[in-house]
Amino acid sequence: MTTSPAEPSAAIRSRAPEAAFAAAIAGYLALYCFSLEFEVALPLVTGVLFHLPMIATYLLVPFALRRTAGRERLAWLAFALLVASWDAAEWVFSLHYLVLGDDAAFPGIADAFYYIGYGACFVAIPLAFWRRNSARERAIAIDSAIVAVVLGASAWQFVIIPNVEDTTEFAEVVLLGYPLMGLVLTSLIVAAFAGQFRRMPPAAIAIAAGIACTTVTDSWNTLMYTGLTAEASFVDVGWLAGYWCFAFAFLFRARQPADEPAGAAPPLRSREPILLAAAPYAAFLPLAAFTVADALGGGAEPTLAAGSLVSAVLIMVRQWLTLGENHRLYRSLEARNEELAEHARSLDALRAEAVQAATHDGLTGVLTRRAWFEAAYAAPPAAVALLDIDHFKRINDTFGHPAGDDVLRQVAGRMAMLAGPGATVGRLGGEEFGILLLEASSAELSCDRLVGAFRDAPLVLASGDVLPVTVSIGLVFSSPNAPIDALYAAADSALYEAKRAGRARLVVAPSARAA
Protein backbone atom coordinates (compact mmCIF):
# COMPACT_ATOMS: atom_id res chain seq x y z
CA MET A 1 0.00 0.00 0.00
CA THR A 2 1.48 3.35 -1.03
CA THR A 3 1.10 6.62 0.80
CA SER A 4 -0.33 9.61 -0.97
CA PRO A 5 2.25 12.35 -1.62
CA ALA A 6 -0.10 14.81 0.02
CA GLU A 7 -0.23 12.78 3.23
CA PRO A 8 2.40 14.01 5.73
CA SER A 9 4.91 11.45 6.93
CA ALA A 10 4.97 10.22 10.53
CA ALA A 11 8.25 12.05 11.14
CA ILE A 12 6.77 15.37 10.01
CA ARG A 13 3.64 14.82 12.07
CA SER A 14 5.77 13.99 15.11
CA ARG A 15 7.51 17.37 14.87
CA ALA A 16 4.33 19.33 14.28
CA PRO A 17 3.84 20.52 17.92
CA GLU A 18 7.40 21.80 18.14
CA ALA A 19 7.10 23.54 14.77
CA ALA A 20 3.81 25.17 15.79
CA PHE A 21 5.35 26.22 19.12
CA ALA A 22 8.34 27.79 17.34
CA ALA A 23 6.02 29.65 14.95
CA ALA A 24 3.99 30.96 17.88
CA ILE A 25 7.18 32.18 19.61
CA ALA A 26 8.32 33.98 16.46
CA GLY A 27 4.91 35.65 16.21
CA TYR A 28 5.02 36.56 19.89
CA LEU A 29 8.47 38.21 19.62
CA ALA A 30 7.37 40.12 16.51
CA LEU A 31 4.24 41.33 18.33
CA TYR A 32 6.32 42.30 21.36
CA CYS A 33 8.71 44.38 19.27
CA PHE A 34 5.83 45.95 17.37
CA SER A 35 4.02 46.88 20.59
CA LEU A 36 7.08 48.74 21.88
CA GLU A 37 6.47 51.40 19.24
CA PHE A 38 3.21 52.41 20.93
CA GLU A 39 3.50 53.97 24.37
CA VAL A 40 -0.12 53.20 25.12
CA ALA A 41 0.63 49.48 24.76
CA LEU A 42 3.55 49.47 27.23
CA PRO A 43 1.42 48.58 30.27
CA LEU A 44 -0.04 45.62 28.36
CA VAL A 45 3.43 44.58 27.26
CA THR A 46 4.90 44.84 30.75
CA GLY A 47 1.93 43.32 32.60
CA VAL A 48 0.87 40.54 30.23
CA LEU A 49 3.06 39.88 27.22
CA PHE A 50 6.30 39.73 29.20
CA HIS A 51 4.98 36.91 31.39
CA LEU A 52 3.55 34.72 28.65
CA PRO A 53 6.71 32.54 28.31
CA MET A 54 6.56 31.67 32.00
CA ILE A 55 2.82 31.01 31.86
CA ALA A 56 3.42 28.61 28.94
CA THR A 57 6.14 26.90 30.95
CA TYR A 58 3.83 26.48 33.96
CA LEU A 59 1.32 24.72 31.70
CA LEU A 60 3.99 22.34 30.38
CA VAL A 61 5.63 21.50 33.73
CA PRO A 62 3.08 18.83 34.86
CA PHE A 63 3.31 17.01 31.52
CA ALA A 64 7.12 17.00 31.65
CA LEU A 65 7.23 15.79 35.26
CA ARG A 66 4.91 12.88 34.43
CA ARG A 67 7.61 11.63 32.05
CA THR A 68 10.36 11.69 34.68
CA ALA A 69 11.30 9.91 37.89
CA GLY A 70 13.95 9.99 40.59
CA ARG A 71 17.05 12.08 39.90
CA GLU A 72 15.72 13.41 36.61
CA ARG A 73 12.44 14.55 38.18
CA LEU A 74 14.39 16.52 40.80
CA ALA A 75 16.31 18.18 37.97
CA TRP A 76 13.18 19.29 36.17
CA LEU A 77 11.62 20.49 39.41
CA ALA A 78 14.73 22.64 39.89
CA PHE A 79 14.35 23.98 36.34
CA ALA A 80 10.72 24.79 37.16
CA LEU A 81 11.92 26.65 40.27
CA LEU A 82 14.32 28.59 38.03
CA VAL A 83 11.47 29.75 35.81
CA ALA A 84 9.21 30.54 38.79
CA SER A 85 11.94 32.56 40.55
CA TRP A 86 12.74 34.60 37.48
CA ASP A 87 9.04 35.14 36.83
CA ALA A 88 8.67 36.39 40.42
CA ALA A 89 11.50 38.85 39.77
CA GLU A 90 9.79 40.06 36.61
CA TRP A 91 6.52 40.53 38.54
CA VAL A 92 8.41 42.71 41.01
CA PHE A 93 9.41 44.98 38.13
CA SER A 94 5.86 44.88 36.70
CA LEU A 95 4.38 45.77 40.10
CA HIS A 96 6.64 48.78 40.47
CA TYR A 97 5.97 49.96 36.93
CA LEU A 98 2.20 49.36 36.79
CA VAL A 99 1.14 49.97 40.40
CA LEU A 100 3.78 51.97 42.25
CA GLY A 101 4.82 54.04 39.27
CA ASP A 102 8.56 53.78 39.97
CA ASP A 103 11.53 51.52 39.37
CA ALA A 104 12.43 48.61 41.62
CA ALA A 105 15.42 49.07 43.90
CA PHE A 106 18.75 47.71 42.73
CA PRO A 107 19.94 45.54 44.29
CA GLY A 108 16.57 44.46 45.68
CA ILE A 109 14.09 41.66 46.07
CA ALA A 110 13.96 41.10 42.32
CA ASP A 111 17.69 40.34 42.28
CA ALA A 112 17.18 37.90 45.16
CA PHE A 113 14.64 36.02 43.04
CA TYR A 114 17.00 36.05 40.05
CA TYR A 115 19.83 34.61 42.14
CA ILE A 116 17.52 31.95 43.62
CA GLY A 117 16.79 30.92 40.04
CA TYR A 118 20.50 30.70 39.25
CA GLY A 119 21.01 28.56 42.35
CA ALA A 120 18.21 26.22 41.23
CA CYS A 121 19.87 25.96 37.82
CA PHE A 122 23.22 25.09 39.40
CA VAL A 123 21.42 22.21 41.13
CA ALA A 124 19.43 21.14 38.06
CA ILE A 125 22.26 20.90 35.52
CA PRO A 126 24.34 18.26 37.35
CA LEU A 127 21.20 16.26 38.11
CA ALA A 128 19.99 16.38 34.52
CA PHE A 129 23.12 16.26 32.40
CA TRP A 130 25.93 14.78 34.47
CA ARG A 131 26.66 11.17 35.20
CA ARG A 132 27.04 10.24 38.87
CA ASN A 133 30.46 10.34 40.53
CA SER A 134 32.22 11.42 37.34
CA ALA A 135 35.73 12.79 37.86
CA ARG A 136 35.48 14.28 34.38
CA GLU A 137 32.51 16.39 35.38
CA ARG A 138 34.14 17.51 38.64
CA ALA A 139 36.96 18.76 36.47
CA ILE A 140 34.40 20.55 34.29
CA ALA A 141 33.03 22.33 37.36
CA ILE A 142 36.51 23.53 38.36
CA ASP A 143 37.29 24.60 34.80
CA SER A 144 34.08 26.63 34.72
CA ALA A 145 34.98 28.22 38.06
CA ILE A 146 38.44 29.16 36.72
CA VAL A 147 36.92 30.78 33.63
CA ALA A 148 34.35 32.61 35.78
CA VAL A 149 37.02 33.95 38.16
CA VAL A 150 39.24 35.11 35.30
CA LEU A 151 36.40 36.77 33.42
CA GLY A 152 34.95 38.21 36.61
CA ALA A 153 38.22 39.79 37.70
CA SER A 154 38.88 41.09 34.20
CA ALA A 155 35.36 42.45 33.73
CA TRP A 156 35.45 44.12 37.16
CA GLN A 157 38.74 45.82 36.41
CA PHE A 158 38.20 46.79 32.78
CA VAL A 159 34.40 47.11 32.44
CA ILE A 160 32.63 47.72 35.75
CA ILE A 161 35.08 50.17 37.37
CA PRO A 162 35.53 52.42 34.28
CA ASN A 163 31.88 52.41 33.14
CA VAL A 164 29.53 51.88 36.08
CA GLU A 165 29.16 54.95 38.26
CA ASP A 166 26.86 56.24 41.00
CA THR A 167 26.37 52.84 42.60
CA THR A 168 27.79 50.78 45.44
CA GLU A 169 30.38 48.05 45.13
CA PHE A 170 27.76 45.50 46.22
CA ALA A 171 25.49 46.60 43.37
CA GLU A 172 28.40 46.26 40.96
CA VAL A 173 29.06 42.72 42.20
CA VAL A 174 25.39 41.82 41.78
CA LEU A 175 25.37 43.33 38.29
CA LEU A 176 28.51 41.43 37.25
CA GLY A 177 27.20 38.18 38.74
CA TYR A 178 24.45 37.81 36.14
CA PRO A 179 26.57 37.27 33.02
CA LEU A 180 29.21 35.34 34.95
CA MET A 181 26.75 32.82 36.37
CA GLY A 182 25.10 32.45 32.99
CA LEU A 183 28.47 31.83 31.38
CA VAL A 184 29.36 29.16 33.95
CA LEU A 185 25.97 27.44 33.57
CA THR A 186 26.23 27.38 29.80
CA SER A 187 29.76 26.00 29.94
CA LEU A 188 28.66 23.28 32.37
CA ILE A 189 26.05 22.03 29.91
CA VAL A 190 28.20 22.34 26.81
CA ALA A 191 31.24 20.73 28.45
CA ALA A 192 29.13 17.78 29.61
CA PHE A 193 28.53 16.95 25.95
CA ALA A 194 31.93 18.04 24.63
CA GLY A 195 32.79 16.22 21.42
CA GLN A 196 29.34 14.60 21.31
CA PHE A 197 27.02 17.45 20.42
CA ARG A 198 25.17 15.31 17.89
CA ARG A 199 24.02 13.17 20.81
CA MET A 200 22.96 16.17 22.88
CA PRO A 201 19.24 15.77 23.78
CA PRO A 202 16.87 18.45 22.45
CA ALA A 203 15.89 19.43 25.99
CA ALA A 204 19.55 20.01 26.89
CA ILE A 205 20.00 22.11 23.75
CA ALA A 206 16.97 24.20 24.68
CA ILE A 207 18.22 24.74 28.26
CA ALA A 208 21.68 25.69 27.01
CA ALA A 209 20.16 28.07 24.45
CA GLY A 210 17.96 29.67 27.10
CA ILE A 211 20.86 30.30 29.46
CA ALA A 212 22.99 31.54 26.56
CA CYS A 213 20.30 34.06 25.51
CA THR A 214 19.95 35.43 29.01
CA THR A 215 23.75 35.51 29.45
CA VAL A 216 24.30 37.51 26.25
CA THR A 217 21.54 39.91 27.25
CA ASP A 218 22.90 40.26 30.79
CA SER A 219 26.35 40.94 29.37
CA TRP A 220 24.99 43.66 27.11
CA ASN A 221 23.04 45.13 29.99
CA THR A 222 26.18 45.15 32.14
CA LEU A 223 28.28 46.82 29.46
CA MET A 224 25.62 49.45 28.75
CA TYR A 225 24.47 49.88 32.35
CA THR A 226 22.77 53.21 33.00
CA GLY A 227 20.47 52.10 35.77
CA LEU A 228 17.65 49.55 35.78
CA THR A 229 14.12 50.32 34.69
CA ALA A 230 10.93 48.27 34.53
CA GLU A 231 9.85 49.89 31.27
CA ALA A 232 9.78 47.45 28.37
CA SER A 233 12.49 47.80 25.73
CA PHE A 234 14.06 45.95 22.81
CA VAL A 235 16.74 44.57 25.15
CA ASP A 236 13.98 42.47 26.72
CA VAL A 237 13.82 40.37 23.53
CA GLY A 238 17.01 38.56 24.60
CA TRP A 239 15.59 37.64 28.00
CA LEU A 240 12.26 36.64 26.47
CA ALA A 241 13.99 34.41 23.93
CA GLY A 242 15.75 32.70 26.81
CA TYR A 243 12.48 32.22 28.71
CA TRP A 244 10.86 30.70 25.62
CA CYS A 245 13.80 28.31 25.29
CA PHE A 246 13.06 27.06 28.80
CA ALA A 247 9.44 26.50 27.78
CA PHE A 248 10.69 24.64 24.72
CA ALA A 249 12.82 22.40 26.98
CA PHE A 250 9.74 21.41 28.99
CA LEU A 251 7.84 20.78 25.75
CA PHE A 252 10.61 18.49 24.49
CA ARG A 253 10.61 16.54 27.76
CA ALA A 254 6.83 16.29 27.79
CA ARG A 255 6.93 14.86 24.27
CA GLN A 256 9.54 12.19 24.98
CA PRO A 257 8.67 8.71 26.27
CA ALA A 258 8.97 8.16 30.01
CA ASP A 259 11.63 5.46 29.54
CA GLU A 260 13.82 7.73 27.39
CA PRO A 261 15.68 10.19 29.66
CA ALA A 262 16.06 13.59 28.06
CA GLY A 263 19.06 14.70 29.97
CA ALA A 264 21.44 11.89 30.75
CA ALA A 265 24.69 12.64 29.02
CA PRO A 266 26.16 9.79 26.95
CA PRO A 267 29.41 8.16 28.11
CA LEU A 268 32.26 10.49 27.42
CA ARG A 269 35.00 9.64 25.01
CA SER A 270 38.37 8.66 26.37
CA ARG A 271 39.97 11.77 24.87
CA GLU A 272 38.47 15.16 25.58
CA PRO A 273 38.81 17.92 22.95
CA ILE A 274 42.15 19.71 23.29
CA LEU A 275 40.59 23.17 23.13
CA LEU A 276 38.20 22.33 25.96
CA ALA A 277 40.99 20.94 28.14
CA ALA A 278 43.17 23.99 27.51
CA ALA A 279 40.42 26.60 27.99
CA PRO A 280 40.92 27.30 31.74
CA TYR A 281 44.70 27.58 31.35
CA ALA A 282 44.38 29.81 28.30
CA ALA A 283 41.96 32.04 30.21
CA PHE A 284 44.30 32.27 33.20
CA LEU A 285 47.42 33.32 31.27
CA PRO A 286 46.22 36.82 30.20
CA LEU A 287 45.03 37.60 33.72
CA ALA A 288 48.33 36.44 35.18
CA ALA A 289 50.20 38.50 32.58
CA PHE A 290 48.24 41.67 33.49
CA THR A 291 48.86 41.04 37.18
CA VAL A 292 52.60 40.55 36.70
CA ALA A 293 52.82 43.61 34.44
CA ASP A 294 51.04 45.76 37.04
CA ALA A 295 53.27 44.40 39.80
CA LEU A 296 56.40 45.21 37.81
CA GLY A 297 55.01 48.68 37.13
CA GLY A 298 54.75 49.54 40.78
CA GLY A 299 51.78 47.70 42.24
CA ALA A 300 49.21 45.13 41.16
CA GLU A 301 45.54 45.96 41.13
CA PRO A 302 43.87 44.11 44.05
CA THR A 303 41.12 42.72 41.84
CA LEU A 304 43.53 41.27 39.29
CA ALA A 305 45.85 39.94 41.98
CA ALA A 306 42.97 38.27 43.84
CA GLY A 307 41.62 36.81 40.61
CA SER A 308 45.05 35.45 39.67
CA LEU A 309 45.53 33.94 43.12
CA VAL A 310 42.11 32.26 43.19
CA SER A 311 42.56 30.99 39.61
CA ALA A 312 45.98 29.59 40.46
CA VAL A 313 44.57 27.78 43.49
CA LEU A 314 41.74 26.35 41.39
CA ILE A 315 44.22 25.20 38.75
CA MET A 316 46.27 23.42 41.41
CA VAL A 317 43.08 21.76 42.71
CA ARG A 318 42.28 20.76 39.12
CA GLN A 319 45.74 19.24 38.72
CA TRP A 320 45.44 17.43 42.04
CA LEU A 321 42.12 15.93 40.97
CA THR A 322 43.64 14.99 37.61
CA LEU A 323 46.56 13.27 39.31
CA GLY A 324 44.16 11.43 41.60
CA GLU A 325 42.07 10.33 38.63
CA ASN A 326 45.19 9.24 36.74
CA HIS A 327 46.29 7.26 39.78
CA ARG A 328 42.88 5.64 40.00
CA LEU A 329 42.97 4.83 36.29
CA TYR A 330 46.49 3.42 36.67
CA ARG A 331 45.34 1.15 39.50
CA SER A 332 42.34 0.15 37.44
CA LEU A 333 44.61 -0.57 34.48
CA GLU A 334 46.93 -2.65 36.65
CA ALA A 335 43.98 -4.63 37.98
CA ARG A 336 42.70 -5.08 34.45
CA ASN A 337 46.13 -6.21 33.26
CA GLU A 338 46.27 -8.71 36.11
CA GLU A 339 42.82 -9.97 35.12
CA LEU A 340 44.00 -10.31 31.53
CA ALA A 341 47.16 -12.10 32.65
CA GLU A 342 45.11 -14.48 34.78
CA HIS A 343 42.78 -14.98 31.84
CA ALA A 344 45.80 -15.71 29.61
CA ARG A 345 47.11 -18.22 32.15
CA SER A 346 43.70 -19.87 32.25
CA LEU A 347 43.66 -20.01 28.45
CA ASP A 348 47.16 -21.51 28.42
CA ALA A 349 46.05 -24.13 30.93
CA LEU A 350 42.94 -24.89 28.90
CA ARG A 351 45.02 -25.02 25.73
CA ALA A 352 47.47 -27.42 27.41
CA GLU A 353 44.56 -29.57 28.58
CA ALA A 354 43.11 -29.54 25.08
CA VAL A 355 46.46 -30.55 23.58
CA GLN A 356 46.83 -33.26 26.21
CA ALA A 357 43.35 -34.54 25.48
CA ALA A 358 43.96 -34.46 21.72
CA THR A 359 47.37 -36.16 21.77
CA HIS A 360 47.20 -38.55 24.74
CA ASP A 361 45.04 -41.56 25.37
CA GLY A 362 42.53 -40.83 28.08
CA LEU A 363 42.85 -44.25 29.73
CA THR A 364 46.59 -44.93 29.71
CA GLY A 365 48.11 -41.46 29.38
CA VAL A 366 50.39 -42.46 26.49
CA LEU A 367 50.19 -40.95 22.99
CA THR A 368 47.21 -41.61 20.79
CA ARG A 369 47.68 -43.44 17.49
CA ARG A 370 47.64 -40.21 15.50
CA ALA A 371 50.04 -38.40 17.84
CA TRP A 372 52.37 -41.45 17.85
CA PHE A 373 52.58 -41.47 14.06
CA GLU A 374 53.09 -37.68 13.99
CA ALA A 375 55.98 -38.12 16.41
CA ALA A 376 57.45 -40.83 14.16
CA TYR A 377 57.22 -38.59 11.09
CA ALA A 378 58.67 -35.63 12.99
CA ALA A 379 61.71 -37.53 14.36
CA PRO A 380 62.35 -40.82 12.50
CA PRO A 381 63.26 -43.51 15.07
CA ALA A 382 66.16 -46.00 15.01
CA ALA A 383 63.71 -48.85 15.60
CA VAL A 384 59.98 -49.46 15.86
CA ALA A 385 58.39 -52.01 18.18
CA LEU A 386 54.76 -53.12 18.37
CA LEU A 387 53.55 -54.71 21.62
CA ASP A 388 50.34 -56.67 22.09
CA ILE A 389 48.89 -58.00 25.35
CA ASP A 390 48.44 -61.75 25.08
CA HIS A 391 44.91 -63.14 25.51
CA PHE A 392 43.52 -59.71 26.44
CA LYS A 393 39.98 -60.65 25.38
CA ARG A 394 40.11 -63.51 27.87
CA ILE A 395 41.02 -61.05 30.61
CA ASN A 396 38.02 -58.86 29.78
CA ASP A 397 35.67 -61.81 29.58
CA THR A 398 36.92 -63.35 32.84
CA PHE A 399 37.55 -60.36 35.09
CA GLY A 400 35.41 -57.70 33.40
CA HIS A 401 36.18 -54.52 31.51
CA PRO A 402 37.25 -52.50 34.60
CA ALA A 403 39.96 -55.10 35.19
CA GLY A 404 40.90 -54.93 31.52
CA ASP A 405 41.24 -51.13 31.79
CA ASP A 406 43.46 -51.57 34.84
CA VAL A 407 45.67 -54.00 32.89
CA LEU A 408 46.01 -51.50 30.03
CA ARG A 409 47.04 -48.74 32.43
CA GLN A 410 49.65 -50.90 34.19
CA VAL A 411 51.07 -52.24 30.90
CA ALA A 412 51.43 -48.67 29.58
CA GLY A 413 53.14 -47.62 32.81
CA ARG A 414 55.67 -50.46 32.69
CA MET A 415 56.41 -49.74 29.05
CA ALA A 416 57.10 -46.08 29.78
CA MET A 417 59.55 -47.10 32.57
CA LEU A 418 61.37 -49.97 30.80
CA ALA A 419 61.39 -48.95 27.13
CA GLY A 420 64.60 -46.96 27.54
CA PRO A 421 65.67 -43.31 27.41
CA GLY A 422 63.98 -41.20 24.75
CA ALA A 423 61.48 -43.92 23.82
CA THR A 424 58.00 -42.78 22.74
CA VAL A 425 55.07 -44.99 23.72
CA GLY A 426 51.63 -44.82 22.13
CA ARG A 427 48.40 -46.80 22.25
CA LEU A 428 47.59 -47.72 18.67
CA GLY A 429 44.27 -49.41 19.33
CA GLY A 430 42.71 -51.88 21.76
CA GLU A 431 45.53 -53.74 23.49
CA GLU A 432 48.19 -52.85 20.91
CA PHE A 433 50.95 -50.39 21.76
CA GLY A 434 53.80 -48.89 19.72
CA ILE A 435 57.29 -47.86 20.81
CA LEU A 436 59.60 -45.48 18.93
CA LEU A 437 63.18 -46.25 19.98
CA LEU A 438 66.00 -43.76 19.39
CA GLU A 439 68.94 -46.01 20.25
CA ALA A 440 69.38 -48.93 17.83
CA SER A 441 72.09 -50.51 19.99
CA SER A 442 69.80 -50.95 22.99
CA ALA A 443 66.47 -51.40 21.21
CA GLU A 444 66.46 -55.21 21.15
CA LEU A 445 67.66 -55.39 24.76
CA SER A 446 64.93 -53.00 25.93
CA CYS A 447 62.22 -55.00 24.17
CA ASP A 448 63.55 -58.28 25.52
CA ARG A 449 63.57 -56.76 29.01
CA LEU A 450 59.91 -55.77 28.56
CA VAL A 451 58.88 -59.30 27.60
CA GLY A 452 60.73 -60.74 30.62
CA ALA A 453 59.34 -58.14 33.03
CA PHE A 454 55.75 -59.09 32.20
CA ARG A 455 56.48 -62.81 32.12
CA ASP A 456 58.24 -62.80 35.48
CA ALA A 457 56.17 -60.26 37.43
CA PRO A 458 52.36 -60.62 37.35
CA LEU A 459 50.13 -57.56 37.69
CA VAL A 460 48.29 -56.73 40.92
CA LEU A 461 44.91 -55.27 40.01
CA ALA A 462 43.09 -52.58 41.93
CA SER A 463 40.69 -55.25 43.13
CA GLY A 464 43.63 -57.09 44.77
CA ASP A 465 43.65 -59.94 42.26
CA VAL A 466 47.06 -61.09 41.04
CA LEU A 467 46.94 -61.60 37.29
CA PRO A 468 49.74 -63.10 35.16
CA VAL A 469 50.01 -61.08 31.98
CA THR A 470 52.38 -61.65 29.07
CA VAL A 471 53.12 -59.58 26.02
CA SER A 472 54.36 -60.24 22.50
CA ILE A 473 56.60 -57.75 20.68
CA GLY A 474 57.57 -57.31 17.05
CA LEU A 475 60.69 -55.21 16.43
CA VAL A 476 62.10 -53.72 13.26
CA PHE A 477 65.25 -51.63 12.84
CA SER A 478 65.11 -48.59 10.61
CA SER A 479 67.22 -48.25 7.50
CA PRO A 480 68.15 -45.00 5.70
CA ASN A 481 65.10 -43.30 4.20
CA ALA A 482 62.82 -46.11 5.39
CA PRO A 483 59.17 -44.92 5.37
CA ILE A 484 57.39 -45.07 8.71
CA ASP A 485 54.54 -47.02 7.13
CA ALA A 486 56.99 -49.68 5.93
CA LEU A 487 58.58 -49.91 9.39
CA TYR A 488 55.15 -50.26 10.95
CA ALA A 489 54.18 -52.99 8.52
CA ALA A 490 57.43 -54.89 9.19
CA ALA A 491 57.00 -54.61 12.97
CA ASP A 492 53.40 -55.77 12.62
CA SER A 493 54.55 -58.83 10.68
CA ALA A 494 57.14 -59.58 13.37
CA LEU A 495 54.44 -59.23 16.05
CA TYR A 496 52.27 -61.70 14.11
CA GLU A 497 55.19 -64.12 14.01
CA ALA A 498 55.63 -63.78 17.80
CA LYS A 499 51.95 -64.57 18.32
CA ARG A 500 52.12 -67.58 15.98
CA ALA A 501 55.27 -68.84 17.71
CA GLY A 502 53.49 -69.12 21.05
CA ARG A 503 53.32 -65.50 22.42
CA ALA A 504 55.28 -64.04 25.35
CA ARG A 505 58.29 -63.42 23.18
CA LEU A 506 60.15 -60.89 21.02
CA VAL A 507 60.54 -61.36 17.28
CA VAL A 508 62.82 -59.13 15.25
CA ALA A 509 61.88 -58.70 11.60
CA PRO A 510 64.44 -60.72 9.55
CA SER A 511 64.54 -58.21 6.76
CA ALA A 512 65.23 -55.44 9.25
CA ARG A 513 68.01 -57.48 10.91
CA ALA A 514 69.57 -58.20 7.53
CA ALA A 515 69.42 -54.53 6.64
Burial of 129 (0-12, 13-18, 19+ CB in 10 A): buried
pLDDT at 13: 46
**pLDDT (mean) for 447-460:** 94
Cα distance between residue 372 and residue 387, in whole Å = 14
Place 5 in a pLDDT band, splitting at 50, 70 and 90: very low
pLDDT in tens, 482-494: 899 999 999 999 9
Q: Determine the number of helices (DSSP H) and then strands (DSSP E) in the chain.
A: 19, 7
Phi–psi pair at 459, nearest 5 degrees: -85, 145
Cα-based angle 415, 481, 419 (whole degrees, multiple of 5): 10
Q: Which uninterrupted H or E stretch holds 296?
A: helix 274-296
487 Cβ partners below 8 Å, 6+ apart? 376, 381, 384, 476, 478, 512
Surface-to-core class of residue 294, CB atoms within 10 Å of its CB (0-12 exposed, 13-18 middle, 19+ buried) = middle
Which residue type, as a one-letter code, is found at position 145?
Answer: A
Q: For residue range 158-176, what is the model confidence (pLDDT) as tens digits?
A: 666 666 665 677 887 787 7
Residues 306-309: contacts with CB within 8 Å, 24+ apart? Answer: 306/153, 307/149, 307/150, 307/152, 307/153, 307/154, 308/153, 308/284
Calpha distance 226→271 (Å, rounded):
46
Strands 471-477 and 506-508: parallel
pLDDT confidence bin for 153, thresholds 50/70/90: confident
**Is residue 358 within 8 Å of 417, Cβ to Cβ?**
no
> Has this prediction a pTM greater than 0.85?
no
Plot region of 45 (φ>0 → left; ψ -120 to 50 → alpha; else → beta): alpha
SS3 261: coil
Cβ 411 vs Cβ 469: under 8 Å = yes
